[in-house]
Amino acid sequence: MQPKQIMKKTLLASALILGLGNAFTASADLFPVTAGAIPDVTAGMVDGYTELSFGTGIIGNKVGQECIMQGINGIGDDAMLWDIGATNAVVAPVNPGALSGTACLTTDPGVPMIIEINAADTSEVTVTVADVVGAGYTYTPTAQSCVIDYDRTNADASDSCVSLAGNTVANVGMSLDQTDGAGNSTETTTASFGYLATSGKTRMVLAGKITIDSEITAGTVIADSIIVQVTYE
């Protein structure tokens, strides 16, 4: 019997806040993890979604008000490698990163981040995204940020993107075998669309909201971090 391995993979994403007409961006840095009996957890950003950006429209004097980014609602199947809605068709993206709320300009969308997690095929992981309390603002992931939990049966409708509104999602399963396109495989039904590239993996989308806690002077630069932690259970 193999000993149980408890490992953590942490993404440290630097966040940038400017004052009036400011931006909220992030880039990730990976840290090595070692293990004995099972493969290391790896986590990395997906091309095209490598930063979390609220654009240049945060309004720093809107104290007590919010800027909210659309995440899972605007992402397409190809980006998440997941059959959103369990349909036999590819769901296209619709304004990914769209912004709402009174603490930002909403005419231009932001950019959500997508992270791919690769762990042992039959493993489960816990994913945690902490709030960020910065100088004059608070970032929270909200329900627009979520992690796909594969139930490892041939029923797409049983797979779901579990909300990160509570900061932590436990018992997240990696996908078992899938085939590209509509067809029956371990993880998909005949009437659902599958993605071979996600076998043994899962993905998460990171969006969320910024709340202005106290006035941020125009031109102020604040550097903070968003921590995404993935832990074998």
> What is the SS3 assignment for 107-121?
CCCCECEEEEEECCC
The one-character DSSP state at 91 is: P
What is d(CA 115, CA 137) in angstroms, rounded to the nearest whole number?
A: 24
Q: Among all chains, which residue has been given the structure tokens 């036999």?
A: 88
Which residue carries 């992981």 as its tokens?
Answer: 125
Q: What is the pLDDT of residue 127?
A: 92
- Tokens at 142, concatenated: 């909200």
How does DSSP classify residue 167?
S
From first to last of the 233 residues of the chain, give the pLDDT tens digit.
333 334 444 444 433 333 344 444 443 444 444 444 556 777 888 998 988 888 877 888 999 999 999 999 999 988 998 888 777 778 889 999 999 999 988 888 888 999 999 887 777 889 999 898 988 999 999 999 999 998 766 555 578 899 999 999 999 988 877 777 766 665 666 566 777 777 888 999 999 999 999 998 876 666 677 888 888 87
Among residues 211, 208, 198, the alpha carbon closest in space to that of 82 is found at 198
- Tell me the whole-structure pTM to 2 decimals: 0.80
Structure tokens at 195: 């993605």
At residue 80, what are phi and psi to the nearest 5 degrees?
-90, -10
In our burial notation (b when 16+ CB lie closer than 10 A, e otherwise), range 134-154 reads bebbebbbbbbbbbbbbebeb
